[in-house]
Amino acid sequence: MSMSPHGEGQICQHFQRAAELIARRWVPQVIYAMRPGPLRYRELKLAIPNISDAVLSERLKELEASSIVRRTVEPSTPVRIQYALTPRGEQLAAVLGELQVWAERWSREPVRT
C-alpha cells in the first residue's frame, strides 16, 4: 500500500529507498555539486568542503552503482576521469535544487518554537 495524500497507509517502498539514498551523509552535496556538468575528482573535492577522500570515493561508487552518476575514463596521459550525472541523477539534482530554494527561503525566516 502506498501513502495517500492524507498521510494514510505505509510509505511507498520506492520512496523509502530514495530517502535512504539521499539521507546518506554527503550524498546530496555530491549530487548538487555535479549539477553544472561533469567534474573531475579534485573539482568535486574542492566543491564540497570538509568531505574526506575516503567518503567521497565511497559515495561516488555508491552513486555509480545506483545509476545516478556515470564515471568516464579518458585514455590520455595522465588518465583523465570525470564524473557526471546520468539522466536519473539530473532529475534528482533538480529535486535537490528545489530543496536549495526552500532552504534559502526559510533561512531568512526566524525560527519559531
pLDDT tens digits for range 9-35: 788 999 999 999 999 999 999 999 999
pTM for the complete prediction?
A: 0.81
Q: Is the separation of the CB atoms in 69 and 75 below 8 Å?
A: no
Whole-number Å distance between alpha carbons of 60 and 83: 8
Whether the upstream peptide bond of residue 78 has omega within 30° of 0, thus cis, is yes
pLDDT tens digits for range 70-103: 999 998 888 899 999 999 999 999 999 999 999 9
CATH code for the part of the protein at 27-107: 1.10.10.10
Whole-number Å distance between alpha carbons of 64 and 58: 10
In the chain, what are the domain boundaries? 27-107
